[in-house]
């Protein structure tokens, strides 16, 4: 028994073995707000494997401990339950500010809270960055372009947002978040990076997320009706999460300070996308048009010239491959929730 205990105390658990060892000089203390969410948890994985110290701050509104549980107990990892609307005092070198609900049903659920998170929360993050002289990356969104009148959308386009519509709490919240970043950069010399993220999908999306990728895959897996909102002629361009994470890390380490679009420029109509999912999942689901969403952006596709030029970045994962991995993930999740119900 003594032998066994000693070996437990000295051996590295298998799940941690791929983590690199970085010496003190190269190892950064990195804060990820919203790090227990879908995108944040994948970013945690990459930065942990690179050997950095990662501190996640999350209020678990849409995020889950389960997304980062494989790091609990690792000496480089820390998980803090905290709402970013309240001040936060810690010592760090870099901040990825991802805390904010991201799917329309979630950000519309409590619009006032969405605005507070994106304004007061961002002020706290920038105030923290100012005090400890940390570099900050803000997760902005293609929603700053609203229902765009320019196609595809370059970063120089100022957007077309309804300031009092149902999406305004998120769109305008993110626009203020960007404005705050450049105000702190100018006035307080905070180093800021702004990523305008386009529709992203992959494993660890929440089952009740309500976004189109998870809705269509779950409907197809459950042999339910696939619900297309409106006539299905509206378009989106879908990026796989590992491509986004590569882009975020490249942007943080670059010297480029203007906003950068991160997205996959391959564009689909939502009607076509429903067909793609139905075919890839298989099964008897029928596709049906339902009520259109108010203020739904009609066309969306990123112009990624900037990211190509300044970050040497472009997406690598084709839709079919990304969807395969995502469908496998949701299949597993469904089996898991069935097991829970049985027991």
| Shortest distance (Å) from residue 38 CB to ligand NAD | 4
Annotated catalytic residue within 145, 170, 184, 201: 170
Q: Give me 213's structure tokens.
A: 């990728």
| Residue 62 touching ligand NAD (CB under 6 A) | yes
Applying the rule CB under 6 A, the residues between 16 and 45 that interact with ligand NAD are 33-34, 36-40
| Residue 194 touching ligand NAD (CB under 6 A) | no
The piece of 82-90, 145-153, 217-225, 328-336 that touches ligand NAD (CB under 6 A) is 82-90
247 binds, among ligand UDP, ligand NAD, none (CB under 5 to 8 A by kind): none
The piece of 57-65, 269-277, 299-307, 332-340 that touches ligand NAD (CB under 6 A) is 57-65
CA-based nearest residue to 72, from 56, 88, 89: 56
Applying the rule CB under 6 A, the residues between 85 and 144 that interact with ligand NAD are 85, 98-102, 117, 121, 139, 141
Cα 299 to Cα 314: distance, rounded to the nearest angstrom = 21
| Residue 152 touching ligand NAD (CB under 6 A) | no
Please say if 170 is a catalytic residue: yes
Contact footprint for ligand UDP (CB under 6 A): 87-89, 103-104, 123-124, 127-128, 130-131, 199, 211-212, 215, 227-229, 234, 236, 270, 293, 296
The residues assigned a catalytic role are 170
């Amino acid at each position: 028994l003594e032998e066994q205990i000693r070996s437990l105390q000295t051996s590295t658990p298998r799940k941690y073995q791929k983590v690199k060892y970085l010496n003190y000089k190269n190892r950064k203390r990195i804060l990820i707000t919203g790090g227990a969410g879908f995108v944040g948890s994948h970013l945690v994985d990459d930065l942990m494997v690179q050997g950095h110290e990662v501190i996640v701050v999350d209020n678990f509104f849409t995020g889950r401990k389960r997304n980062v549980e494989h790091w609990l107990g690792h000496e480089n990892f820390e998980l803090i339950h905290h709402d970013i609307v309240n001040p936060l005092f810690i010592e760090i070198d870099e901040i990825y500010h991802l805390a904010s609900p991201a799917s329309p049903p979630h950000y519309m659920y409590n619009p006032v809270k969405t605005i507070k998170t994106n304004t007061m929360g961002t002020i706290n993050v920038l105030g923290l960055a100012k005090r400890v002289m940390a570099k900050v990356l803000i997760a902005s969104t293609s929603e700053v372009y609203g229902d765009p009148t320019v196609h595809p959308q370059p970063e120089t386009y100022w957007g077309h947002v309804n300031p009092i519509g149902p999406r305004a709490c998120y769109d305008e919240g993110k626009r203020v978040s960007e404005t705050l970043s450049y105000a702190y950069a100018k006035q307080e010399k905070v180093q800021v990076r702004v990523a305008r993220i386009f529709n992203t999908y992959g494993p660890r999306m929440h089952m009740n997320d309500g976004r189109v990728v998870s809705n269509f895959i779950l409907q197809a897996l459950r042999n339910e009706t696939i619900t297309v909102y409106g006539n299905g002629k509206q378009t989106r361009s879908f990026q796989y999460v590992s491509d986004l994470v590569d882009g975020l890390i490249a942007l943080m380490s670059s010297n480029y300070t203007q906003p950068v679009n991160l997205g996959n420029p391959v564009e689909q109509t939502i009607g076509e996308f429903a067909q793609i999912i139905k075919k890839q999942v298989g099964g008897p689901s029928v596709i049906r048009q339902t009520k259109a969403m108010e203020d739904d952006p009609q066309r969306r596709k990123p112009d990624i010239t900037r990211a190509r030029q300044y970050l040497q970045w472009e997406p690598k994962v084709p839709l079919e491959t990304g969807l395969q991995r995502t469908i496998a993930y949701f299949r597993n999740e469904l089996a898991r929730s069935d097991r829970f119900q049985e027991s």
